[in-house]
Amino acid sequence: MKFELISEAVSCGARAGLITTDHGQIETPIFMPVGTVGAIKAVQMQDMKDDVKAQIILGNTYHLYLRPGMEIIEKAGGLHKFNSWDRPILTDSGGFQVFSLSANRKLKEDGAHFRSHIDGSKHVFTPEKVVDIQRSIGSDIMMALDECPPGTSDYDYARKSLTLTEKWLKRGWQHFKETEPRYGHSQAFFPIVQGCVYHDLRRESANFVAELGAEGNAIGGLAVGEPVEQMYEMIEVVNEILPVDRPRYLMGVGTPENILEAIDRGVDMMDCVMPTRNGRNGMLFTRHGIMNMRNKKWADDFSPIQEDGASVVDTQYSKAYLRHLFVAQEILAMQIASQHNLAFYLWLVKEARKHIISGDFKAWKTQMVENVTRRL
């Protein structure tokens, strides 16, 4: 994997870059749609390419390991062939999913012991095992196993958690270097910066990660309960240390406003389930503001969902029709809304890139934040 820095904003940390993988190039800043089990909820892969214009998607190690399992994915020839996606894929190591299973897991020196949410069976994720699983999946970018502490953790817990994450990272990084890809294309390994909301822990972790010299680096453990101001503060602290010549991936964030503020602070890659999850529940994000499509105000509004939309569905369907579909509990409503939201997120980061390169990102971002946070 290669990363080329194309342009940097003068008045803030925003950057435009280009990531090159064996499955294609990724223009940064980029938003990555989440395909947890190898599928983007309610959107077909061809639509992800043609309409949403996604350059990279995510898969999840925890979920794919449990179902369909590595035997099936290996027989298919890797996730790219299994789900018919021929562009780059990033896989999360499963650390966040194990964190969310607090009642069914134990974190030990050797790894994360947990019970499957599907059938209650016992499993262990070691740093080495998650590398092996991601080798079997065949993702272009794989993540290190880490613990994601809650954003409200006290200092002592955050300290212990970071110590464990760093021990796991050493082992995972070593195992990555000792193993080879399975399907003929290269794979990159991203370590993850942790440390909760504590400056000294975040700096320690960022320095530890930077010294590895990995092809890219991730910032984890944010948007997990801490105030948004602290999230932005931690991004700034970490990005002062992470190398400028490697992509920076902020994990699991977030709203359109969060994304713009993260880009402002030097983040290159982001992902979140919000576009599809909120879309399935009737919330549309647009360049003019947020719409709740169940509201009666849209019942006789026959104008397009968004006249200057980024997606085909924006101009193909009216607000009144989409509201009708949600009220009628029609599956098509979830498809239209999910496709629209993903296309909007991809449009947003593409516009951010344009304004970084043209030199007016800061002024554009200030106005856009005001727009995207407005309730329509």
Q: Are strands 15-21 and 2-8 parallel, antiparallel or unpaired?
A: antiparallel
Q: Which residues pair with 60 in a beta bridge?
A: 92
Q: From CA 284, how far away is CA 258, in angstroms rounded?
A: 16
The SS3 of residue 259 is helix
Q: From CA 75, how far away is CA 210, in angstroms rounded?
A: 36
Reply yes or no: is the peptide bond before residue 149 cis, omega within 30 of 0. no
The SS3 of residue 353 is helix
Which residues are known catalytic residues?
92, 271
- Could you tell me the CA-to-CA distances from 169 to 130, 136, 190, 205, 349 in Å, in that order? 11, 19, 10, 11, 30
Q: From CA 192, how far away is CA 207, in angstroms rounded?
A: 11
Q: From CA 137, how far away is CA 65, in angstroms rounded?
A: 9
The strand ranges marked E within the chain are: 2-8, 15-21, 24-28, 30-33, 57-60, 89-92, 105-107, 112-115, 122-125, 141-143, 188-190, 192-193, 217-219, 248-250, 269-272, 283-286, 289-292
